[in-house]
Structures are given as C-alpha cells and as structure tokens.
C-alpha cells in the first residue's frame, strides 16, 4: 500500500513540476501590465500606425470580403481546423476598444490576449514578437482611430486537442520564445532596417519557411521555401537562385517587384500578388530598398545539380503541345518566349520548373493575375481554365511547358491536378 501511495505521489509531483515548468515557459519575459493607459495618441502617431499596419498586411486577415475594415471574421484554414480572425476595431464589446496599448503590446510580443488567453500562431506573433514597443503603440493608435464595428467574433473550429489552451501551451513551450530585434553591428543601417521589416511586421518566414507536423517553423530553415497550407500554394525559397532568390538581381529590380509586382526577371502571382496589392506597394522607397538589400544578403543554399529527369511520355507531350497551341501560344508565344511587358516567357522561367508544380497547376486552373499597383495600374492577366480543361489536359499542358524550349522538370500527374482542384472546391 505504501508503495502504491509513493508511486501516486511521485506521479503527482512529476505532473506538478511539469505544469510549473509549462506555466513558467509561457510567462517568460512578461511583466505586470500597468493599471492605466499611458499612451498619448497624436495625428502623427496614427498616420505612422496606418503605414505600419499596411507593412504588416493586417487587413488581409482581419477583414472579410465586403466587411468592415479590421472587423475580423475571416476564416483561416490550417491543418488543425479553422481559425477566425478577431475584430480589431475600437468597439468595446467585440473589438479592442477596452484594451490598453500595453495589452495590445502583450498580444503582439507575447501572443496573449487581454483576458490572458494564449493566442493561436495563425496570428503571426512568432514574427511580431520582434516588433518594437514604439511601432506596436503606433499600430494600436491607428486601430483605435477606426470606426467601431460591432461584428461579433466567431469561435474557432479546431479539432481536439488543438482547440485546448493546454495543447497551445505545450506548443508555445516547445516552439515560441519572445524576442527583440537585434541589429547586426557589422551591417549597415539599411540592412538592419530591412531585416527588421522582413522578419518582423513583414513576417516573410511565415510562408517562405517549411513547417513541421505541429505547424512550427525553424530558424535553421528560414527562407528555404514551404507549402502554404492555408492557401495550398508553394512559397519558393528566397535564398536559392533556382527558386525565388534575388541575390544576383539589381537592387532596383527587387524594389520594383515589391512595389509594382513586376520586374524584368519575373512577376508575382497568387498569394504574393495579394501581399504586393495590400502591403508592399505602399512601402516607402527607403523601406522597400532596405528590404531588398536584406533579401539580397541572405546566405544562399547550396544548390545540388538536379538528378537527370526522365523525359515525359511522348503521348503526354503531344497532347500537352496541342492544348498549348490552342489555349496558350497566342499570349506566351510558339516558343514560350512571351511578350515583354505583357505576358511572361515560359522558356527559362524558374517558376515553371520548380520541383513542386503546385503553383503552375494553380495558375492554369485559377488564372494568373498581377496586382494593380501605382506603378502598374492596368496589369495583364491570364484567364482561368478550370472549367475549360480536364485534369488530363491540365496535367499534359503543364508537363509540356515544363519540358519544352530548354526547360526540364518532372511531369505532372492528374492526381496533382485533382488535389489542386479539391483544395478550392474547383
């Protein structure tokens, strides 16, 4: 009996120690909140906060189509269920009208809500933790200046156990620690500004870094590319010339891509087009250049020569060539050469020959649309073919363009097309 009691007490003691450690890890770096608001808002602070909110692309997640700006309610699909964005307007009942700037800072820096709940990292506080208190205060001042919207917050629809605070606490203990922006003393002020914007408000690693089975990223794999499960697009590596690296580009061309969506070497489509449309086109010239300088300085991946690719079946190439001639050649040219300033070349296009063909398939199905920006207000676009082409035809034509005019890449199967359709209910 004594042995049983000793075993039980040992287990309870172990659980108590584990719980204490878990609580401690989830509270690290947090300080008691001040009892009253200390921030004094000014028009200049609000204006700065509006700019920073654009840099962070906050509206993209916190606004539903046709809904009030920042009123939340947008469903964000994750591998664990759906997370709904919250109301950030100054409505006191549903929004953050009763919050203080310190509570908002705690959400940005520590991922904890006003009532103490742990927030899900679909809100990218693992990146925003690097945002300074001054910038957080400016964003808060801007959000408080918006019209209050009484839109009720929607409950998340996550599967068990991911819908529990206990599971989230374990995740944070394993994968999250509050951070601060650290300037590199050997680098220029421009480089450090770019690092701050890319890694903090820009939260570029949230998409361009692979995630593990629990949805966490690793600094060791930052910028190496990853599938965006929310949108089922592949975010190519930003530190690899054969994917989306810009190390060898002219800095002005990188700036043009960020601010207009178009550069001589390529253009943006899919989720990145939305980022340019809603966010980076509004960057100041200095900030856009700082981001470009930092992205060009990223340590590059060692690129191993790809294994020889077996040529696709002649039947697939023949069928794909016929589809291309009927549907694509008018814009992209008989030799995949495109038309400068209008339609991109497919020959030698690294976006076409990515190891993961997801993006190419999605463009054929959904169409390809550049963002309308001040520097490119009337961009050309590609119509969707999801209702026109069968899965077999999409597989054939994408295989064809990946293996013509000097391109070489694995063929595309109908299962890959089916998965792309299934994700969006096409």
CATH number at residue 253: 1.10.760
Ranges 34-38, 66-70, 114-118: which has the least confidence:
34-38
The strand pairing partners of 234, in sequence order, are 227
- 149 and 198 part of one domain: no
- 80 and 170 part of one domain: yes
Ranges 5-9, 238-242, 262-266, 311-315: which has the least confidence:
5-9
Q: Which pLDDT does position 307 carry in this prediction?
A: 64
Average pLDDT of 21-40?
Answer: 75
The answer on pLDDT for 25 being more than 80 is: no
CB atoms < 10 A from the CB of 27, how many?
Answer: 11
pLDDT digits (tens, 9 = 90+) for 226-282: 888 767 899 999 999 999 999 999 999 999 999 999 999 989 999 999 999 999 999
- 201 and 255 part of one domain: yes
Judge whether 308 lies within some domain.
Answer: no
- 249 and 283 part of one domain: yes
- 205 and 263 part of one domain: yes
Q: Which helix (H) or strand (E) holds 76?
A: strand 75-78
- 210 and 288 part of one domain: yes
- 61 and 164 part of one domain: yes
Q: Is the pTM of this model over 0.85?
A: yes
Q: Taking a C-beta distance cutoff of 8 angstroms, is the pair 293, 287 a contact? A: no
Judge whether 277 lies within some domain.
Answer: yes
> What's the domain range around 226?
189-296
Banded model confidence at residue 375, pLDDT cuts 50, 70, 90: very high
Number of domains the chain contains: 3
Judge whether 33 lies within some domain.
Answer: no
Average pLDDT of 11-37?
Answer: 65
CATH number at residue 400: 1.10.760.10
Judge whether 210 lies within some domain.
Answer: yes
Q: Per mean pLDDT, which of 11-20, 321-330, 417-426 is the most reliable?
A: 321-330
Judge whether 351 lies within some domain.
Answer: yes
Q: Which pLDDT does position 20 carry in this prediction?
A: 62
- 100 and 154 part of one domain: yes
3-state DSSP assignment of residue 14: helix
Q: Which position has the higher pLDDT, 25 or 372?
A: 372
Distances (CA, A) of 299 to 104, 266, 293, 296, 337: 34, 21, 12, 9, 32
- 251 and 196 part of one domain: yes
Q: Find the DSSP H helices in 63-152.
A: 101-110, 125-128, 133-144
- 373 and 289 part of one domain: no
Average pLDDT of 213-225?
Answer: 93
The answer on pLDDT for 404 being more than 90 is: yes
């Amino acid at each position: 009996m004594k042995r049983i009691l000793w075993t039980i007490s040992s287990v309870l003691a172990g659980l108590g120690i584990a719980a204490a450690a878990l609580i401690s890890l989830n509270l690290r770096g947090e300080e008691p909140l001040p009892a009253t608001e200390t921030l004094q808002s000014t028009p200049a602070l609000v204006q700065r906060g509006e700019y920073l909110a654009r840099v962070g692309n906050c509206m993209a997640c916190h606004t539903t189509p046709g809904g009030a700006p920042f009123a939340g309610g947008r469903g964000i699909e994750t591998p664990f269920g759906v997370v709904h964005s919250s109301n950030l307007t100054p409505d006191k009942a549903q929004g953050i009208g009763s919050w203080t700037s310190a509570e908002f800072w705690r959400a940005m820096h520590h991922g904890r809500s006003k009532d103490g709940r742990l927030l899900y990292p679909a809100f990218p506080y693992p990146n925003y933790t690097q945002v300074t208190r001054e910038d957080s205060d400016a964003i808060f001042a801007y959000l408080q200046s918006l019209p209050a919207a009484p839109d009720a917050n929607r409950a998340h629809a996550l599967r068990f156990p991911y819908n529990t605070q206990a599971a989230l606490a374990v995740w944070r203990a394993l994968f999250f620690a509050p951070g601060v922006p650290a300037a590199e003393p050997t680098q220029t002020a421009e480089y450090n500004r770019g690092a701050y914007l890319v890694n903090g408000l820009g939260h570029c690693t949230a998409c361009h870094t692979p995630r593990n089975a629990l949805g966490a990223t690793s600094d060791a794999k930052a910028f190496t590319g990853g599938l965006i499960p929310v949108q089922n697009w592949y975010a190519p590596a930003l530190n690899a010339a054969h994917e989306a690296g810009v190390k060898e580009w002219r800095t002005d061309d990188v700036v043009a891509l960020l601010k207009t969506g178009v550069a001589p070497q390529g253009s943006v489509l899919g989720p990145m087009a939305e980022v340019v449309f809603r966010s980076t086109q509004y960057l100041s010239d200095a900030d856009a250049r700082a981001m470009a300088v930092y992205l060009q300085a990223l340590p590059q991946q060692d690129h191993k020569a790809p294994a020889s690719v077996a040529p696709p079946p002649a039947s697939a190439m023949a069928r794909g060539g016929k589809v291309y001639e009927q549907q694509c050649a008018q814009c992209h040219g008989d030799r995949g050469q495109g038309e400068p300033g209008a339609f991109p070349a497919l020959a030698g296009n690294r976006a076409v020959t990515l190891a993961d063909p997801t993006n190419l398939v999605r463009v054929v199905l959904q169409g390809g649309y550049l963002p309308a920006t001040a520097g490119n207000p009337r961009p050309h676009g590609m119509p969707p073919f999801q209702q026109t082409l069968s899965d077999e035809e999409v597989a054939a034509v994408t295989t064809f363009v990946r293996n013509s005019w000097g391109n070489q890449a694995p063929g595309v199967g109908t299962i890959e097309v089916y998965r792309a359709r299934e994700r969006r209910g096409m």
